[in-house]
Amino acid sequence: METKTLQNNQVIFEQGAYADTMYEVNSGTVGVYAGYGTQDEHLLATFGSGEFFGEMGLVECYPRSATAVSLAPNTVVAEITSDDFASFYRDQPDKVLRVMRQLSARLRETNRRYEEACRTVYDAIEAEKAGQRRNKSIVSRLSSMLRHLRQSNANS
């Protein structure tokens, strides 16, 4: 497992790049962005010491769904390959469990937000059927949920 010391705002991986690795933050902070460096740039998540990110690249070997960037000087990350991860099963099963818990928490939050979005859309449709004007709170809830769903998708 290779560790990298990064300077502030250093790109770790770019959205769209194919990947077969994930990372663990040893120290510092990492931000994950959609549309990094564009007018549509949006911070989706931040990760600190002991947290993992980029695991979809390791598991699926698909293009990255977001860009990861160091947010503090001297941020240290460990690059974890599939071979490294396989050795965790033998030598560090607690680390595998930590990765699984973090993934489970992200999935649980995504499910919660999805359910909330479905309820809000249902409320809007029912209000429309009843001939009611769209309520500002429903539009606000939908906008907020869309932002959160974008975050959830990119966090994976």
Give the model confidence (pLDDT) of 103-138 as tens digits: 898 889 888 888 888 888 888 777 777 776 555 666
Check pLDDT > 90 for residue 75. yes
| % of the chain exceeding 90 in pLDDT | 45
Q: Which of 70-79, 96-105, 134-143 has the lowest mean pLDDT?
A: 134-143
Q: Which domains does the chain have, with CATH numbers?
A: 2-155 (2.60.120.10)
User: Does residue 140 surpass a pLDDT of 90?
Assistant: no
Tell me the per-residue pLDDT of 32-68, one tens digit each, with 9 for 90 and over. 999 999 998 999 899 999 999 998 888 887 889 999 9
Tell me the pairing of strands 52-53 and 21-27: antiparallel
12 has pLDDT over 90: yes
Q: 66 in the Ramachandran plot: left (φ > 0), alpha (ψ -120 to 50) or beta? A: beta
What single letter denotes the amino acid at residue 94?
A: D
Among residues 133, 147, 156, the alpha carbon closest in space to that of 68 is found at: 156
Q: Which stretch of 4-18, 58-72, 86-100, 129-143 has the lowest confidence by average pLDDT?
A: 129-143
Cα(5)–Cα(124) distance, rounded to whole angstroms?
49
pTM of the model: 0.73
Question: In terms of Cα–Cα distance, which of 99, 75, 73 is closest to 85?
Answer: 99
According to DSSP, the β-strands at 11-13 and 67-70 are antiparallel
Ranges assigned E (strand) in the chain: 2-6, 11-13, 21-27, 30-34, 42-47, 52-53, 67-70, 75-81
Looking up tokens 């000087």 gives 73
How far is the C-alpha of 26 from the C-alpha of 41, rounded, in Å? 26
